[in-house]
Amino acid sequence: MDLFSIVKEKVAGKDLKIIFPEGSDERILKATSRLAAENILKPILVGNESELTNKAEELGLSIEGIEILDPNTYPEMDMLVEKFVERRKGKATEEQARQLLKDENYFGTMLVYLHKADGLVSGAAHSTADTVRPALQIIKTKQGVKRTSGAFIMVRGDEKYVFADCAINITLDAEGLAEVAVESGKTAKMFDIDPKVAMLSFSTKGSAKSEETEKVAEAVKLAKEMNRNLVVDGEFQFDAAFVPSVAEKKAPGSVIKGDANVFVFPSLEAGNIGYKIAQRLGNFEAVGPILQGLNAPVNDLSRGCNEEDVYKLALITAAQSLQ
């Protein structure tokens, strides 16, 4: 069964609501029309109802039955303002809250926080910061998790792997890398991948010594302490994590025997370069980034996304909400 057949099976019939703050974007309208027609999940669009309806008609799309919410006319805005002020614990006045909640991303994120939606997909017309900032301020990270991270599911035919962090944290200490490893293992399970997590470096099991390699080795120890059931090892060069014959020579005693399927990169620089090489030279489809570690799913599209990207990330967001 392919990746998205698995995801559809997980979310079908669950009446999950996913909110799209960029309701007027053509790609969002096309994807949500499709999702609604297939009755996979219930899209909520943010925007002016008459404007969205007219644009859908111009595009020949049906958005019948899709809920449309407008921050400027939302009947429970006073309640949202009150809850936002409460959540920010003195960091925002009522006036500031009211102004912020006119922003579609803040508005949508508050609806997720208040369980009026199960997840949010944005970023088609906004920067990553515009999508992630409200999530960190309102939804926040899960207990015991200090940061969010960005994973990609790399898909080619029947092959599927998790790459992280490829989107959020420029540099991480050993504890941060360990957190990413544990959260990436959870993401893998969501796609029926039995996680075998490789912590990557330019060294394999001490073949080189530096602060960078020792940080990754320490992250392995911490990840094992955080989740004793997780199969995780390192530090590995990529070939030692992925090629059995190389693993046998370079890391003969490891629980990872060239069969890793979750790869944790030592920095954002390495992760971003790595996934793009796999995407462009290896012809893998890169699905994501999927934001990990939040109390509720918020996911960030690329501004260069297409309708299919929106559709697939919405399905993933719905599946995350079931974790």
Give the model confidence (pLDDT) of 8-26 as tens digits.
888 888 889 999 999 999 9
**Closest alpha carbon to 109 in 16, 206, 19, 231:** 19
CA 55 – CA 256 distance, rounded (Å)? 52
The predicted structure's pLDDT at residue 256: 95
CB neighbours of 117 closer than 8 A, spacing ≥ 6?
A: 17, 18, 19, 44, 108, 111
The predicted structure's pLDDT at residue 26: 94
Q: Are 69 and 111 in contact (CB under 8 A)?
A: yes
- Residue with token string 């120890």: 221
CB neighbours of 314 closer than 8 A, spacing ≥ 6?
A: 18, 20, 31, 32, 35, 41, 43, 121
Three-state DSSP class for residue 318: helix
pLDDT by residue (tens digit) across 263-293? 999 999 999 999 999 999 999 988 888 999 9
Which of 49-58, 153-162, 194-203, 300-309 shows the lowest per-residue confidence on average (mean pLDDT)?
300-309
**Closest alpha carbon to 24 in 130, 126, 129, 111:** 126
**Closest alpha carbon to 234 in 251, 248, 249:** 251
Structure tokens that stand for 52 in this block: 């969205």
Pure H helices in the chain: 3-11, 26-38, 49-58, 77-88, 94-100, 104-113, 128-134, 174-190, 211-226, 238-242, 244-250, 268-280, 307-320
CA neighbours within 13 Å on the CB side: how many for 277?
Answer: 7
Q: How many residues does the chain have?
A: 323
pLDDT by residue (tens digit) across 123-146? 888 888 889 899 999 999 998 889
Backbone angles phi, psi at 236, to 5 degrees: -125, 140
CA 110 – CA 17 distance, rounded (Å)? 14
CA 252 – CA 254 distance, rounded (Å)? 6
CA 111 – CA 298 distance, rounded (Å)? 12
- Residue with token string 């449309």: 68
pLDDT by residue (tens digit) across 141-188? 998 889 999 999 999 988 999 999 998 999 999 999 999 999 999 999
Query: What's the rounded mean pLDDT across residues 109-127?
Result: 94
CA 8 – CA 10 distance, rounded (Å)? 5
pTM exceeds cut of 0.75 = yes
Structure tokens that stand for 114 in this block: 């208040």
Q: What 8-state DSSP symbol labels residue 158?
A: T
Farthest-apart Cα atoms in the chain, separation = 65
The predicted structure's pLDDT at residue 172: 94
CA 298 – CA 294 distance, rounded (Å)? 8
The predicted structure's pLDDT at residue 2: 75
CA 171 – CA 177 distance, rounded (Å)? 9
**Closest alpha carbon to 199 in 175, 221, 222, 216:** 216
Structure tokens that stand for 200 in this block: 């990557």
pLDDT by residue (tens digit) across 188-237? 998 889 999 999 999 999 899 999 999 999 999 999 999 999 999 989 99
| Domains, the chain | 3-140+294-320 (3.40.50.10950), 149-280 (3.40.50.10750)
> In which band, very low, low, confident or very high, does the pLDDT at 1 lie, cut at 50, 70 and 90?
low
Three-state DSSP class for residue 35: helix
The predicted structure's pLDDT at residue 201: 96
